[in-house]
Homo-oligomer: A and B are copies of this chain.
Amino acid sequence: MRVAILGVGLIGGSVGLAARQRLGAFVTGHDPDPEAMRVGLDVGALDAAGTLAEAVADADVAVVGAPVGRIPEVVEAVLRHAGPDTIVTDVGSAKGAIVAAVDDRRFVGGHPLAGAETAGVRHAREDLFAGAPWYLTPRSGSSGVVFERLTRFLAGLGARPQAIEAATHDRLMASISHVPHVIANVLVAQAAVVLADDGTLPATGPSFRDATRVAGANTTMWTDIYLANRDALVDRLDDVVHRLQTVRADLVAGDAAAIAGWNDAARADREALLAVGLAGGTAPSCELRVAVPNRPGVVADVALALGHAGINIHDMTLSPSDDERTGEVALWVDADGASRAAELVAGLGLRVEGAP
């Protein structure tokens, strides 16, 4: 197996290390910065480095790890140099613009939830993706074969691939990552004014330290991320402002019952979020076999239906039948989501075997 890494940073380098060590792949790399390629070879993330065209030649999988603002152009360049069977993906943290810009059956957008804070291939680790969610954003027209091979490749790196619509992904990332980063910046800026005005030591408590740990994260990377996801981010910031103004009104009115109810609701929300997060990490997996017509998009439709319901696909195989007109998809899903998965797949008009 040959893997190409375009953009040799923390994520690209970790893909290279994991692909070499876990899958025995031959990994080629390209980066506009020659030093990144040198370090990539040094730390064992790459077998070879060269131009983009050299790195992509004969690759089975090409992973674009460029800064998110540059991803569409790099993906286009990779697709121009890649062969007809090369699978191309990216690791950008905002997906709407990329998925809209690239229309090619060889491409499926992706985003691993791992290691955004310490940049650089020098920090690359072969276990960076172990157990980590890796979102994939197939379109309805995406090739099932491409999606299946990519899913297996990512599972082979140790990640847990999950399909999701690009727009939902971007809204989710805005809520759980980009908005908390914006707010961390706002909180330190506000506290710094108290420090500057009064010279008073702000002996900060744990809530402040926790909420501001990511303040002022890598400027180049985060300016890029904020702007790449700006539509969803602006929408979620407006939602935050609206919620703050509701609390403000309750405070001004001295409405203790409203404040108490709002705080109780937050506790319930937090518990629900924790419960989902925990369930996702520990469930054993179950096999579902699905007979599918051999047409584009059917596998992506299945993956999106399960992803939409919060059901993880741990692994997946796609076996065409002899006549090439039908096939079978085997899916390994969370055991506690298997019944629901079978219903969802049946709801798409597909026949399910091995349902629990």
Q: Which residues of A contact B (CB under 8 A)?
A: 113, 116-117, 133, 162, 164, 168, 171-172, 175-177, 179-192, 194-195, 198-208, 210-217, 219-220, 222-223, 226-227, 230, 233-234, 236-241, 243-245, 247-248, 251-252, 254, 256, 259-260, 262-273, 276-277, 280, 307-310, 312
Contacts and interface: CB of A to CB of B under 8 A. Distances in A.
Contacts of A227: 251, 254, 256, 259
Given A254-B227, A269-B192, A219 B263 contact: yes
A215 B267 contact: yes
Nearest to A238: B248
Q: How many copies of this chain are found per oligomer?
A: 2
A256 B240 CA distance: 22
B116 A192 contact: no
Contact of A216 (B219, B226, B241, B269): B269
Nearest to A183: B183
Contact of A186 (B205, B219, B223, B243): B243
Contacts of A195: 272-273, 276
A243 B176 contact: no
A263 B194 CA distance: 19
Nearest to A198: B168
B215 A269 contact: yes
A245 B240 CA distance: 11
A200 B179 contact: no
A307 to B, nearest CB: 7
Contacts of A181: 207
Given A180-B211, A199-B308, A215-B266, 12 more contacts: A162-B203, A168-B200, A177-B208, A182-B247, A183-B240, A200-B310, A210-B211, A216-B266, A217-B263, A217-B267, A219-B263, A237-B247
Given A200-B168, A201-B310, A251-B233, A192 B226 contact: no
A248 B237 contact: yes
A208 to B, nearest CB: 4
A263 B312 contact: no
A200 to B, nearest CB: 6
